[in-house]
Amino acid sequence: MNAVLKPSPAGGDMLSVDHIDTFYGESQVLFDVSLKVGPGEVVALLGPNGAGKTTTLRSILGLTAPAKGSISFDAQDITRMPTHEIAQAGMGWVPDDRRIFPTLTVARNLSIARKTTRFRKWSEKECFEIFSALEYLMHRECENLSGGEMQMVAISRALLGSPGLVLFDEPSQGLAPKVVQDVMKTITRLKSEGIAVLVVEQNVQSALQVADRAYVMNLGKIVHEGPAAQLRDDAGLRRQLLGV
């Protein structure tokens, strides 16, 4: 583990979501959702389309604050903290639509993401070690990149923000199987560096390969929680909860 990484906060959780209810206008989308991610732990959040997975990430990031319940990150209450302060505290995000500035170069997209937190600092050189193609793309405009290349930029951008936790929203969406494997390897690499990960996936098999624990959501509620190995090994349970 990197020397820059200080010991985990008392109580042990990097992220703790406790009994949150979240609404879009009048419509309630999350019902009493609770989940935890330990330091250096990879946790999968699974479930069908519309279950509330993205809304859970949006609640954690302060983009759609919960009406009830609380969220703590790295021993700080972040329930009503503005998104930029949550990011400054060391929360990284790889959004489902990647949100890269299309008319800027890769280099520019990466340089504006750089920040210092209490967690390990990452260099561009280390990102090139993970994604060897990235170095050769630095002067390209992002709108000309393939889906897989954009995902490399999105993940590198999260790393350059010195995260203690990275939230991934369907990182394998739209990517070729080989690129999906690269993304999953990167998640394992982050874990080996002591970074905690919460990964939302429709690609159940890939997520369960890399996760330590898994939650399943349906209709805005957590309907299952357990070791990832349990869902990986128990085809009956997997079919019952996820239909795969």
Nearer to Mg ion by Cβ, of 49 and 132: the residue is 49
Distance CA 120, CA 5 (A): 6
Assess 67 for contact with ligand ADP (CB under 6 A): no
137 interacts with, out of Mg ion, ligand ADP, none, CB within 5 to 8 A per kind: none
Q: Could you say which of 17, 40, 55, 155 contacts ligand ADP (CB under 6 A)?
A: 55
49 interacts with, out of ligand ADP, Mg ion, none, CB within 5 to 8 A per kind: ligand ADP
Nearer to Mg ion by Cβ, of 164 and 220: the residue is 220
In the complex, least distance from residue 179 CB atom to ligand ADP, rounded to whole angstroms: 21
Assess 36 for contact with ligand ADP (CB under 6 A): no
Angle at 67 between CA 63 and CA 70, to 5 degrees: 80
Q: Could you say which of 54, 64, 79, 117 contacts Mg ion (CB under 5 A)?
A: 54
Q: Could you say which of 20, 44, 53, 98 contacts ligand ADP (CB under 6 A)?
A: 53
Distance CA 60, CA 16 (A): 9
Q: Quick one: which segment of 22-30, 98-106, 109-117, 174-182 binds ligand ADP (CB under 6 A)?
A: 22-30
Q: Could you say which of 15, 17, 20, 29 contacts ligand ADP (CB under 6 A)?
A: 29
Distance CA 106, CA 68 (A): 39
Helix (H, G, I), strand (E, B) or coil at 225: strand
**91-94, strands of its sheet edge to edge:** 91-94, 165-169, 196-201, 42-46, 213-218, 221-227
Q: Quick one: which segment of 46-54, 67-75, 104-112, 130-138 binds ligand ADP (CB under 6 A)?
A: 46-54
Distance CA 95, CA 136 (A): 24
Q: Could you say which of 1, 6, 50, 101 contacts ligand ADP (CB under 6 A)?
A: 50
Q: How far is CA 5 from the centre of its chain?
A: 19
Assess 52 for contact with ligand ADP (CB under 6 A): yes
Give me the residues paired with residue 30 across strands.
Answer: 22
Q: Give exposure, 15-24, as e/b (b: 16+ Cβ within 10 Å).
A: bbbbebbbee
Assess 49 for contact with ligand ADP (CB under 6 A): yes
Burial bucket for residue 144 (CB in 10 Å: 0-12, 13-18, 19+): exposed
> Quick check: 154 and 80 in contact, CB under 8 A?
no
Assess 55 for contact with Mg ion (CB under 5 A): no
Site string for ligand ADP, 163-202 (x = CB under 6 A): ----------------------------------------
Footprint of ligand ADP on this chain (CB under 6 A)? 24, 27, 29, 47, 49-55
